[in-house]
Structure 1
Amino acid sequence: MNFTHEQVTGTSPGTSSGHGAWAGCIDRSGPLPLWAQVHADLRRRLNEEQFTSDFPGELALVEAYDVSRHTVREALRRLRDEGVVIAGRGRRPRIATGTRRITQPLGALYSLFASVEAEGLEQRSIVRALELRTDPEVAARLSLGAGSELFYLERIRLAGDEPLALDRVWLPAELAKPLMDVDFSHTAVYRELERRCGVRLGGGEETIHAVLPSAAERELLGTGASVPAFAIERRAQGPNGPAEYRRTLVRGDRFAVAVQFSTGGGYRLNLTGTA
């Protein structure tokens, strides 16, 4: 269903009724801000599946609720942060059909590929780089010489039809050269590393902190300026020492981390942010 001016406001273009079709849902003398009331009413309509395919545009909502554009934008921002709708600058809002929050366990060498598919979503990637390169900083993290050749893979990870993460992986080239022929648009690094190179990664260390992505990163992830992300940095061990260094930027509105704890062991929380 496409929402036109007439369908949402109940008026013809160029005709003003003074009140939009949904203005009666707003209590202007109540304690709740107008944006919160618009937000709540839109959530109700979404739950009732009133928007089967399309979602009203910003201007249509302004007229439907008879409120300011700023009020509508704030309500849409909240819906976007909740992962309910997708709305970007210059783009018409749309329902985030099938969007689910991906949950990963702490303390486990997980595969993002497997976690996405466990949610019943198609996992695929847009490969931005697949090459051999040198990087002294990363080489040091892998306990290699500064000039050591590294396998490098950079992908935008999709869950369903929407971006989930920007993923960058480095491996020692002498270990991972057989992966240069792999189509990583729909497979996992760990799966191919074990199948083609005979290497299974073990434990390691990982740090996770919240960040606001840069403008370029937001463009790749399809998020607005107010949506935070998880920055995940991982170094995993192979049979003979460090074998993987990875930096992943995951959308905060589509991702959660989970931990199991007990009264005996519990888990350690590092408040300084250092490894």
Structure 2
Amino acid sequence: MTSPTTGSAAKRVDRDSALPLWAQVLADLRRRLTDDEFTDAFPGELALVDEYRVSRHTVREALRRLRAEGLVVAARGRPPRLAGTMEIEQPVGALYSLFASVEAAGLRQRSVVRTLDVRADGVVAVRLGLEESTPLLYLERVRLAGEEPLAVDRVWLPARVAAPLLSADFTHTALYTELSRRCGVSLTKGAEHIRAVVPTPAERTLLGIDDRVAAFAIDRLGEHRGEPVEWRHTLVRGDRFAVTADFTARTGYRLDVAGTLPGPRARLHAAARRETR
């Protein structure tokens, strides 16, 4: 059965016209983009094939032109997205850099550094297995993907390890790159707690979102050769971020169910394992 939307779109393609079908689809998609018809999501290839009743080749040519014009992102193996709304994906169970993930998505990464200093924080120090008065290097940044805010990132590291970072320019460099280069420290292990939260008004302002958009809060405890060296709290826009996981028939799928927040050298979660047999 043909939906009203499908029928309406199909009528906008004139098979008797001298204009190629891909050009007609392209023109209609441009119009619909101008009319903000795709504010929630941009349709995939198969949906467009069904809507316009044309071949997949025709749709792909129209999408190729839209991509060349910078209006949509349509990479191989991934659904088309409006330019500027690409999700940043992070893998579950891997040490990753948000810097690298943003650039891998084809977006320019930079940060607005709000704070870089040395201070004491008793709560964070305990999480790192340190005395409450231990000096900690504190870095707070607003992370941008393209020109839009993506995350508010707050990191604490023992000052005895991370003091050389005080002279680093974090507007366009990764923390882990500088930590390795300046301090000789690389993370070898980590644990995370990811949860959905409602940002405060101040946090919404920093992230450039309204009260309809939730966020992910990510708490990370990073270790170097068995010693906790990083506590990180990152608040990421829920409309720009996705978490991915892989599974196989041999190893199954690992689902980590959130428990209490980690203390020093403590696991961040209780694991529930489902085997595929």
Tell me the TM-score range normalised by the shorter chain. Answer: 0.5 to 0.7
Cα distance in structure 2, aligned partners of 1:46 and 1:249? 39
Q: Tell me the C-alpha RMSD between the 2 structures.
A: 2.7
CA distance change for structure 1 residues 55 and 181 in 2, over 3 Å: closer, same or farther?
farther
- Residue 49 of structure 1 is aligned with which of 30, 37, 48? 30
Specify every segment of 5 or more residues in structure 2 that has no aligned partner in the other structure, as ranges: 6-24, 44-71, 73-81, 261-268, 270-277
Identity across the alignment (%): 54
Aligned to 1:186, what secondary structure does the other structure show? coil
TM-score (norm 1): 0.67
- Residue 211 of structure 1 is aligned with which of 197, 204, 222? 197
Aligned to 2:124, what secondary structure does the other structure show? helix
Q: How far 1:271 moved relative to its partner?
A: 4.0
Q: How far 1:212 moved relative to its partner?
A: 1.4
Aligned to 1:110: 96
Specify every segment of 5 or more residues in structure 1 that has no aligned partner in the other structure, as ranges: 1-24, 26-43, 57-74, 85-94
**1:45, 1:51 within 8 Å by CA — same for their partners in 2?**
no
Aligned to 1:137: 123
Aligned to 2:233, what secondary structure does the other structure show? strand
Equivalences for residues 174-185 of structure 1 within 5 A: 174-185=160-171
Q: What's the CA shift string for 1:191-250, capped at 9, x where partnerless?
A: 000011111111121111111111111111011111111111100111350011100011
Cα distance in structure 1, aligned partners of 2:85 and 2:103? 13
Q: What's the CA shift string for 1:13-45, capped at 9, x where partnerless?
A: xxxxxxxxxxxx9xxxxxxxxxxxxxxxxxx99
Moved over 3 A (4+): 44-47, 81-84, 270-274
Q: How far 1:169 moved relative to its partner?
A: 0.5
Q: How far 1:269 moved relative to its partner?
A: 2.4
Select the structure that is richer in strand: 2
Q: How many residues are paired up?
A: 201
Aligned to 1:159: 145
Equivalences for residues 1-275 of structure 1 within 5 A: 48-50=29-31, 79=39, 97-239=83-225, 241-274=227-260, 275=269
Aligned to 1:64: none
Aligned to 1:146, what secondary structure does the other structure show? coil
TM-score (norm 2): 0.66
